[in-house]
Structure 1
Amino acid sequence: MRGLTGAVTAVLVAQGLAAPPVQYPLVQQLSDGSRTEPQYEGAKKRPLHGRFLQITDFHPDHFYQIYSSTDSDSACHRGHGPAGIYGAETSECDSPIALVNKTMEWVAKEFKDKIDFVIWTGDSARHDNDDALPRTASQVLGLNTLMVQKMAEVFGKHNNDDDEDRNPNNDFIIPIVPNLGNNDILPHNILSKGPNRWTREYSSLWRQFIPESQAHSFQQGGWFYVEVIPHRLAVFSLNTLYFFESNAAADGCSVRSEPGYQQMEWLRIQLQFMRERGMKAILIGHVPPVRQEAKTSWDETCWQKYTLWTRQFRDVVVSSHYGHFNYDHFMLQDFKELKKDTKKGRMKAAEARAQDDSDDMSPLVKTDYFIQLRDQWSSLPSPPTKSKSSNFLDVLFGKKKKAKKEFRRAEKKYIKKIGGPYAERFSASFVSASVVPNLFPTMRVFEFNTSGLDSLDTMAAIPAPAHFEYDTSDAEIERKKKHKKKKYKFVVPDGPNEDAGPGPAYLMQPLSLIRYTQYFANLTFINNDFSNHSAEEGGVVKGRKWHEGKHQGRKPRHEPDPRAFGYEEFYDTRDDDVYRLEDLTMGNLLDLARRIGDFVPESDMDVLAEPKLDVRDDEEVEAEDEGDELDNDSEESSSGGKKHKKHQKKKGKHGRKHKKKKHDHEKENEAWYTFIHRAYVATMEREEIEEEFGR
């Protein structure tokens, strides 16, 4: 390995990185929407593979030192300790440049000619986690420049030396869609209304990724979209920092002058434009819409609008993808959590909240978050099950016929509860784990349906985005004027046309997601610094925010002796004995969430009863549905905090008793334990998982 110290890396960043190659889309996009032929032969010949890569949270750190200490005072920058050549797995240290280099080399080898586009969901600079080495703006931009260069090394079109080609969107073989992370700015988390220094800096740095017709829009708010498959699929890069509760410079999505409101308006207008053109959209962002008592990432007004938007544009939106959280999982947005006022186009101003400028949660909070997510899913509607018990007397007295009738009635009620046969009561958000080895480095590749896409005319002109008028009023002045009790009005997006069928997130069709494959790099094995490491040694100290990692306090070898670097397949959602997802449409995701929520603690294993069929009439079901809808005035607890019904685990479905054999109980809980094993990217042993999450 090259000795990439801070000084050497600073030189590398300064040299040769100022003008990385620019992107090469399938079709050039001009501001006036006029047709222009591609400037390279590959555009017409590049086949559609039906796969895209998500990679996130690199957090490169040019101060990282091999065999430095992983404690909070050192942050792998000094001292002596177990920090390995490719990273200190399970610690809070950031990524050595060696990990970034090897990761991108592996991506080039495995995926360069096998994917159609890349979604790169933010945080391409180190954390501000060392008081002795505070971050500077030049460092943050330098590290992001380094990552742009790495993307160019893998996906750049290196044989294009035409000096006459001045198009800034013309030198990558596939579209790369970047996204702004909370550590890509300074100070971290805090981004004021644009245009500002950071939107201008990234408009220049990402000029090869941002369509020319949207450069001005990006400078205003840091959001844009790219037609990754011209005339069929666009990826929308959302600036989630304006939704982020930890951003003290923004205040939700209800007041017109706020950038969060402006972004939602832009998204509404552009998604309607996609609908009118017969296109579909993928939404990406950095900070995911986490919404539990243990952890809430977005302002509630932004979550409400986002969820309403995904409901109204469910015929357009294919999927949503995020990073930031480091833990591999997914979440559902339940449209029953929409407030009545939200659905009517009015909303109170964002509530005042305590600012949390930390990037991480304590292990206790993370445990509570996942358990709350499980408890929320335990209340999902369950499909009826047919009784297997029947005898001659049942047939003689017509009981079997009656049971069949009751089953059909219960099935009808279930379908109504989930929003129809395609579960259109929900939307989903996928959260990918990170490259930075807070766990093990990861990435994922999604596969999508390409039926009928090969015959597309991708050479036709791409029109400019729909017109959007950005509000330039002073957000700070408006924030001081606003009234907490006032309800601000907004335009509710139109829903799908009456004759529109279910969208690609709900029914398998062109562009629907089929599966994803998760990859990880086992740094414990690759670094090859320790052997026979027991779970009792080192590890995370509960209750602390800084994690020193599994090798805490141990002394490594005298000299690095790493094994060959590479990622390996962790799991595939389709070819998997536990997840068993035929595809990633909502019905299958809902079934997986329900199975995860069906967890039964060991202490309750002998007491649960078989659930009864729901045979209530339509009026009773509708009355319950209305009762589930949240009202603006019913959301405040006595302490003034948010109280979401989704956090209250319903008793009844799992509170009834029935006997279970031990192996049946273990099988029933396998989905939950596997979900946690994958969330923590195989860094927890089964015994640890059962002890921590078996309650």
Structure 2
Amino acid sequence: MALRHFLGLTLLCHGVIAGLLGPATTERRQAVAERSVPRKLHGRFLHITDIHPDEFYKVHSSTDEDSACHRGIGPAGPYGAETSDCDTPFSLVNATFDWIAANLKDEIDFVVWTGDSARHDRDEELPRSQDQVLGTNTWIADKFAALFARPDGYGMTVPVVPTFGNNDILPHNIMLPGPNRWLQQYTHIWRHFIPEEQRHSFEFGGWFYVEVIPNKLAVFSLNTLYFFDRNAGVDGCAAPSEPGYKQLEWLRVQLQFIRERGMKAILIGHVPPARTESKRLWDETCWQKYSLWMHQFRDVVVAGLYGHMNIDHFLIGDSNDINLAALSGSAAESGIRDAMEDELTLQSASDYLLELRNDWAKLTPPPTFSEELDGIDRDGRRGGGKKRKHRWGERYHLSLISPSVVPNYFPTLRVMEYNITGLENVPLWKDTPKTTATDVFDDNRNSQKHIDLRHVSSETESGTRSDAETTKKHHNKKKQKKPHNDPNLIIPEPPSKSSPPGPAYSPQPLTLTGYTQYYANLTRINNLNLTASAGAETNSGSSFLDNLMPDWLLRWRNGKHAGKKPVAKLPQPREFTFEVEYNTFEDKIYKLGDLTVNSFVELAVRMGKPSASKQRSETGVVVDEDGDNDYGEEDSDQEGDSDEGAETEQKKRKKGKKGKKDKKRKQNRTWLHFLNHAFVGTLEKKELKKLLD
């Protein structure tokens, strides 16, 4: 008995000593055990954009243009100067990653990070250097790698997909055709994120894709700097020698591969394909070809996700605007569009959004309830009852633009949700050997196609067919149709006529179902105790909109606390947190059942046309769409006036009562709601109305 107790005590001691001397071994075993139990998909992913970290930011510095939150005394808060053009303090970056670690890390399947992780080059006394631009980008990349590192230290638990911002290079906006030193540097900085088999493609042009759900969903990282109208180092997407042309050829071939494998794709980039009546962000030839690709691959592409513009909004591309002659640059664009300003002021952002609204007013509305029952679409064609509702929207494609972390308004994060029905137990990215993730479809052939893009001019001119076309040779002997005036243009195959609408148009697995938008209310968190500066020309009782100068004079925003100074010597911030600004699942004004193109076109139509207090519901019942106006009962007489009001005017005229042209009427409630979110809730109701005036 004594011997038994002695042996038991000895074994116990050995276990204690092993635990003391070998914690790393214990953790390694736990990590291995964890990896053996596959984690199910959550149906959520994070979109983060425009972080703009500034190593020179100084708390309690001035927010005016000459100081840029780098010097002087003023209202720069501990976590940033909201509504100003100052960049992001490191404290806000660290707090943001801490919040993600505590609240999102274990609840998302992947991350899309859409660029601009360096400060702006706005301070003449502190010009940017290459080391600074690469340094902050390396810092952010390392924070992502550490945040999602495996417990055993080998690799990451979820994929992070980055893309270039126009401020991630020097000088900003200008990226020359690759290979170049910037692409070489970022190949190393993003080594945790770019799949090994895609690195040659990235080094060549800065584009790549990641199968975030192996064999199901790929995220394509586009180098939109080669589409950007302000990039003077390239010239559009028409000539085969241009990197924009080569990137779109790469995208065409890869999307065809994705289609043949039965997969879907999300496209991400920094600069969005914004294009209104007077302004544009992309070269027209790039916009035209991209729009054609989106229409032809509408069965594959789920959505496009972008950043850059800081304001929360969306774009709807119309395939009816595609001009094949403009694809080659051989036809003049209808209407003159100037390059959009690199950074939008508040007023220019409002003008841009108003132009979007004018475009939305021209969209073809969805079929009415009776037309759906009759199977007739808006063009008078029969389409088989309610199935016609999904087909109606296939004329359009969608780009979602997330607001930024940099507090030009309030710091923002967006968590997207998607349908995982039937995908709950699929193999996950972290459990799939990275060397075989793309082997399913002949990786050697895939890699060779990347290399061939270096000589795409000679290949295309000689009429060589792509691999995707070659595989279809036995199934379809008809040659691809090419415009006679552009021998370099290969139009992608459209979806099969028998294929159902893709996840961008009809609810199904991988359809985006909604998102939750989080913001950090820096006005409350910074907890500034400010007083007006002596001799300051700022009326402390007025809003920052009251001092707006004409857009052509104003290129810097001092922020809502401009002209004030802190009372306390030391900052006393409240606890930092992100809170829900809104989510599309519960928003009673947006009424988005999902994030399909159809849902957004319906929303755009509601905002684009004059406000109708009575709208037709999905069941065909007439309902009150506007209800009480949360932004005030009246507004100026402009394009947003209600139809009901117009009818009242006509009735008054018939009765002999002359209607006043400047009569106040209710604004479109949905439009005002959209504007409030566009500026991340930083504008008061009276400021929104003043902006509209």
Report the TM-score when normalising by structure 1: 0.76
Answer whether contact 1:507 1:585 (CA < 8 A) is retained: yes
CA distance in 1, matches of 2:641, 2:522: 45
Cα distance in 1 for partners of 2:274, 2:94 equals 31
Among 420, 423, 443, the alignment partner of 1:450 is 420
Q: 1:314 to 1:67 in 2, by over 3 A?
A: same
* Residue 28 (structure 1) aligns with: none
Equivalent position of 2:404 in the other structure: 434
Give the structure 1 partner of residue 354 of structure 2: 371
User: 8 Å contact 1:335–1:426 — kept in the other structure?
Assistant: yes
3-state SS, counterpart of residue 45 of structure 1: coil
Structure 2 counterpart of 1:174, from 154, 158, 161: 158
The whole-number CA distance in structure 2 between the counterparts of 1:556 and 1:414 is 65
1:126 maps to a residue whose letter is R
Instruction: Report the 3-state secondary structure (helix = DSSP H, G, I; strand = E; otherwise coil) of the residue aligned with 1:304.
Output: helix
Native 8 Å contact 2:198 2:208 kept in 1: yes
**In 2, distance between residues paired with 1:250 and 1:419?**
44
- Quick one: distance in 2 between partners of 1:195 and 1:357? 28
| 2:182 maps to which of 173, 198, 201 | 198
Q: Is the 8 A contact 1:329 1:430 kept in 2?
A: yes
Structure 2 residue 653 is the aligned partner of structure 1 residue 669: no
CA deviation digits over 1:137-192, x for unaligned, max 9?
A: 011010001101221232122432xxxxxxxxx51110000111000000000000
Corresponding position of 1:620: none
Name whichever of 455-464 and 570-579 sits farther off. Answer: 455-464
Render the CA deviation track for 1:636-680: whole Å, top value 9, x for unaligned. Answer: xxxxxxxxxxxxx9999979942399xxx9887111001100000
Aligned partner of 2:364 among 366, 376, 381: 381
Moved more, 583-592 or 277-286: 583-592
Report the AA paired with residue 35 of structure 2. Answer: G
Structure 2-normalised TM-score? Answer: 0.77
Q: Which residue of 2 aligns with 1:236?
A: 220
**Structure 1 residue 489 displacement after superposition:** 2.6
Greater shift, 200-209 or 553-562, is seen at 553-562
State the alpha-carbon separation in 1 of the partners of residues 40 and 375 from structure 2.
48
Q: What is residue 552 of structure 1 aligned with on the other side?
A: 562
Mapped to 2, the partners of 1:592 and 1:234 lie a distance apart of 28
In the alignment, which of 59, 65, 82 is matched to residue 66 of structure 1? 59
Number of residues of Structure 1 aligned to a counterpart in Structure 2: 574
Conservation of the 8 A alpha-carbon contact between 1:262 and 1:470: no
| Mapping 1:342-381, distance limit 5 Å | 347-348=329-330, 359-381=342-364
Instruction: Output the CA distance in 2 between the equivalents of 1:340 and 1:474.
Output: 20
- Paired AA for residue 552 in structure 1: A
Q: Secondary structure of 2:145's match?
A: helix
Q: Partners in 2 of 1:79 and 1:132 — Cα distance?
A: 13
Q: Residues 347 and 488 of structure 1 are in contact (CA less than 8 Å); yes or no, is this contact kept in structure 2?
A: no
RMSD, matched Cα: 3.4
Q: Report the CA distance shift for 1:321/1:67 in structure 2 as closer, same or farther (over 3 A).
A: same
| CA–CA separation in structure 1 for the residues paired with 2:340 and 2:591 | 39
What is the deviation of 1:691?
Answer: 2.5
Q: CA deviation at 1:446?
A: 0.5
Alpha-carbon distance in 1 for matches of 2:263, 2:108: 20
Q: Which residue of 1 aligns with 2:497?
A: 498
2:404 counterpart of 1:421? no
**Other-structure match for 2:265:** 281
1:535 & 1:121 partners in 2: Cα distance? 38
Aligned equivalents of 1:234 and 1:328: distance in 2?
Answer: 24
Q: Which residue of 2 aligns with 1:258?
A: 242
Rg: which structure is higher?
2
Take 1:680 and 1:223, find their aligned partners in 2: how far apart are those partners?
Answer: 31
Equivalent residues in 2 for 1:118-157, closer than 5 Å:
118-157=111-150
Residue 96 of structure 1 corresponds to which residue in structure 2? 89
Offset, 1:414: 6.8
Is the 1:288–1:322 contact (alpha carbons within 8 Å) kept by the matching residues of 2?
yes
8 Å contact kept, 1:59–1:94? yes
Which residue number corresponds to residue 541 of structure 1?
A: 548
| TM alignment of 1:81-120, pairs within 5 A | 81-120=74-113
| Native 8 Å contact 2:244 2:286 kept in 1 | yes
Q: Aligned AA for 2:174?
A: I
Shift of 1:264: 0.0
How far apart are 1:355 and its partner, in Å?
9.3
Q: Which amino acid aligns with 1:218?
A: F
Residues 444-483 of structure 1 aligned to structure 2 (within 5 Å): 444-457=414-427, 459=432, 461-462=436-437, 463=439, 464=443, 465=446, 467-472=449-454
CA contact (8 A) 2:377 2:388 kept: no
Query: Cα gap change, 1:238/1:122 in structure 2, threshold over 3 Å: closer, same or farther?
Result: same
Q: Following the alignment from structure 2 to structure 1, what is the Cα–Cα distance between the partners of residues 212 and 249?
A: 22
Q: Is the 8 A contact 1:609 1:656 kept in 2?
A: no
- In the alignment, the residues of structure 1 paired with residue 70 and residue 682 of structure 2 have an alpha-carbon distance, to the nearest angstrom, of 23
- Any stretches of 5+ residues in structure 1 without a counterpart? 1-37, 161-169, 387-403, 476-484, 612-648
Cα distance in 1 between the residues matched to 2:182 and 2:138:
13
Change (3 A) 1:575 1:610: closer
Q: Give, as a single letter, the amino acid of the residue that structure 1 aligns with 2:647.
A: H
* CA distance in 2 between partners of 1:474 and 1:498 (Å): 30
- In structure 1, what is the Cα distance between the partners aligned to 2:36 and 2:349? 45
**8 A contact 1:118–1:177 mirrored in 2:** yes
The offset of 1:81, in angstroms, is: 0.7
Shift of 1:260: 0.1
Matches for 1:650-669 after TM superposition, within 5 Å:
657-659=646-648, 669=668
Task: Please identify, of 101-110 and 355-364, the stretch whose mean Cα deviation from structure 2 is larger.
Answer: 355-364
CA separation of 1:564 and 1:609: change in aligned 2, threshold 3 A: closer
Pair 1:320-2:304 in alignment: yes
Corresponding position of 1:590: 601
Counterpart contact for 1:506–1:587, Cα < 8 Å: yes
Deviation at 1:357, TM superposition (A): 9.7
Helix, strand or coil at the partner of 1:675: helix
C-alpha distance in 2, partners of 1:670/1:384? Answer: 23
Contact 1:347 1:487 in 2 (8 A): no
CA distance in 1, matches of 2:340, 2:32: 46
The secondary structure found in structure 2 opposite 1:326 is coil
**In the alignment, what sits opposite 1:220?**
204
Matches within 5 A, 1:601-620: none
For residues 292 and 234 of structure 1, do their structure 2 counterparts lie closer, same or farther at Cα, with a shift above 3 Å needed?
A: same
Which sits farther off after the overlay, 553-562 or 199-208? 553-562
| Unpaired runs of at least 5, structure 2 | 1-30, 458-483, 532-538, 617-637, 652-663
In structure 2, distance between residues paired with 1:589 and 1:405: 20
Summarize the Cα distance change of 1:470–1:368 in structure 2 as closer, same or farther, 3 Å threshold.
farther
Matched to 1:595, the amino acid is R
Q: Secondary structure at the match of 2:450?
A: coil
Q: CA deviation at 1:383?
A: 4.6
1:43–1:658: structure 2 CA closer, same or farther, 3 Å change rule? farther
- Structure-2 change in CA distance of 1:51 and 1:406 (3 Å): closer
Amino acid at match of 2:285: T
C-alpha displacement at 1:419, in angstroms? 11
String of CA shifts for 1:311-339, please: whole Å, max 9, x gaps: 01111101110000000000100110011
